[in-house]
Amino acid sequence: CEQAIQPRCMKPPSDEKANEGGYFFSNFLHRMTKINWKTILFVFILLFFTGSCGTVIYFVVNWIEYLLFKYQYNSTTLQIHTSLDYGLLNNYLVSQTLARAVGIHCPRVESWPNCSVPMNAYYKVVNPLLKIGLLRDMGTVPLLYPPHNVQGFEAYAYKFIADTKYYPPKTGVSKFGKGIFAKYPNGTSYHDKTGKTKFSPFQILTPVFEIIDIGSLSAVMYNLHSEINRAKTIDIVINAWLRGEYNRSAVTPLIQLVQDPTNRPASLMVYPVAPPTNLTALVGFIRIVQNWDTVLSQAIPSKAKGIDFVISDSVKQYTFTINGERTVALKGAGDVHDKSYDNYRRTYSAFQNMGYSSYSVVYYPNSDYFPAILVIGPIVGCAVIMVLILLVAFLVGAYYFIVNRQLQQKQEALDSKRSFVRFI
């Protein structure tokens, strides 16, 4: 009997340890073969529930991120445009201030157009105004009615230029020589003595005279009224003046400045000048030069980036973009923003319909504006929820498996004892 049961009941310790892993694995395979349809259904429901929760969390987090982003974007564009409007209003007040100062220096109508402010005094007045308005240049533009007093003004202007150390030699001198000049469509300069145009009822000359921007010296003696956009802007001021609106300024549409060799959209603001002894007499204009890249760069916050600006005057359009810290560059002529961000469009008016054209500024974000968290956040939220659900399910399953194994081992031990007792 002992020899009969010894091979079954008594094994060397080394053999028991060697077969322990194999026993567990074979036991695991045995249990896997006994998996019924309820277990499969449970696993399927668990995976479906996990995927559903992850999807819901993804869309919820994505929606929250979208609302927060849109609120931040709208606040940023509103802040930029508020600053832009404030800057444009400053330009109007600055032009009004210089017009008053020039009028006080030349208080009599008879002294015009042969009137100028000494450059030392002019610089002291204009330079602070340029800093306040963040402008490129400001200049005086006398009003002449040809042929009356044209030759007299030209002689006076070139004597003033020659006597002023500020202006370099040959300032205001064109290829044809000295004189008020205009330009043909091909860019060739000619001596404009009459002020006749096909696009204005006023036969006048409005030469650029006193300026302080060295880069704008090529515009000295240029007849602003010889170019259609500038002429229509000046005509707006003249017509308003005839109606008794003595403080009306006007803004040109988007133009290319004579002194800029490359494409750099700009606008001119024109404000009337009247001597204090006769406030109903229009004797000239104040010309303000503002390039839009400079205007926009001063309006944006220091940390803003990834926003495109589409400037429109109802005729032309130009697109600018923020390159870095308070740096704005021309992106191209026309509306060249990324069309995939049209749903973020924000439109504001500029100049409050003041001037020849109705300006508008449209804001769009681009890919540089979107932080990575907008893409990563929902994915991370989805992944975290799914991992947590699967981890909890795994822990519960592992606990169930361990407890069930211990119970089964006890049951197997009890069955072995019963079998052994029966055998005895």
Is a pLDDT exceeding 80 seen at residue 39? Answer: no
What's the average model confidence in pLDDT over 257-264? 79
Distance, CA of 142 to CA of 254 (rounded, Å) = 23
Q: Give Cβ neighbours of residue 197 (< 8 Å, ≥ 6 apart).
A: 203, 225, 226, 228, 231
CB-based contact 309:265 (threshold 8 Å): no
pLDDT in the model for residue 378: 63
pLDDT digits (tens, 9 = 90+) for 81-139: 888 888 788 888 888 999 999 999 989 999 999 989 888 888 888 888 888 777 888 88
pLDDT at 41: 72
Q: Where does residue 273 rank: exposed (0-12), middle (13-18), buried (19+ CB within 10 A)?
A: buried
* CA distance readout (Å), 333 to 221, 348, 358: 29, 19, 18
What pLDDT score does 18 carry?
A: 46
More confident residue, 338 or 373: 338
Please tell me the predicted confidence (pLDDT) of residue 7: 45
Residue type (1 letter), 14:
S
pLDDT, mean over the chain: 80
**Cα separation, 415 vs 423, whole angstroms:** 12
Q: Is the pLDDT confidence value at 49 over 90?
A: no
Contacts of 70 (CB under 8 A, 6+ apart): 344
Phi-psi region of 211 (alpha: psi -120 to 50; beta: other; left: phi over 0): beta
Q: Which tokens is 80 given?
A: 């930029």
Q: In the Cβ-directed half-sphere of 361, how many Cα atoms lie within 13 Å?
A: 25
Band (pLDDT 50/70/90 cuts) for residue 60 is confident
Reading the block at residue 245, the tokens are: 């609106």
Please state, in angstroms and rounded to a whole number, the distance separating the CA atoms of residues 300 and 181.
38
d(CA 102, CA 139): 10
For residues 17-42, give the mean pLDDT.
Answer: 56
Q: Summarize pLDDT for 179-237 with one digit per residue, the tens.
A: 999 999 888 999 999 999 999 999 999 999 998 876 778 889 999 999 998 999 999 99
Higher-confidence residue: 29 or 223?
223
Q: Which residues pair with 266 in a beta bridge?
A: 255, 291
Write the CB contacts of 271 (distance below 8 Å, at least 6 apart in sequence): 92, 95, 96, 98, 99, 237, 249, 285, 286, 288
Mean pLDDT over 264-284 rounds to 91
The upper half-sphere exposure of residue 251, i.e. CA atoms within 13 Å in the direction of its Cβ, equals 24
Q: What is the mean pLDDT of residues 233-250?
A: 91
What percent of the chain shows pLDDT beyond 70?
A: 81
Q: Confidence class of residue 396 from pLDDT cuts 50, 70 and 90?
A: low
CB 266 within 8 A of CB 291: yes
pLDDT of residue 221: 94
Q: Confidence band (pLDDT; 50, 70, 90) for 240?
A: very high
Is the CB of residue 321 less than 8 Å from the CB of residue 309? yes
- pLDDT value, residue 6: 45
Q: Work out the angle between the directed axes of helices 37-105 and 119-133 (0-180°, nearest 10).
A: 160
Q: Give the C-alpha separation, 231 to 356, whole Å.
A: 10
Model pLDDT, residue 353? 44
Beta bridge partners of 246: none
| Residue 353 burial (CB count, 10 A) | 10
Residue 224: count other Cβ atoms within 10 Å of its Cβ: 25
Measured CA to CA, the distance from residue 131 to residue 350 in angstroms comes to 21
Judge whether residue 368 has pLDDT over 60: yes
Phi, psi of 420 (to 5 degrees): -65, -40
User: Quick one: pLDDT band at residue 38, thresholds 50, 70, 90?
Assistant: low
Q: Is the dihedral of CA 330, 333, 339, 342 positive or negative?
A: positive
Q: Is 322:328 a contact under the CB 8 Å cutoff?
A: yes
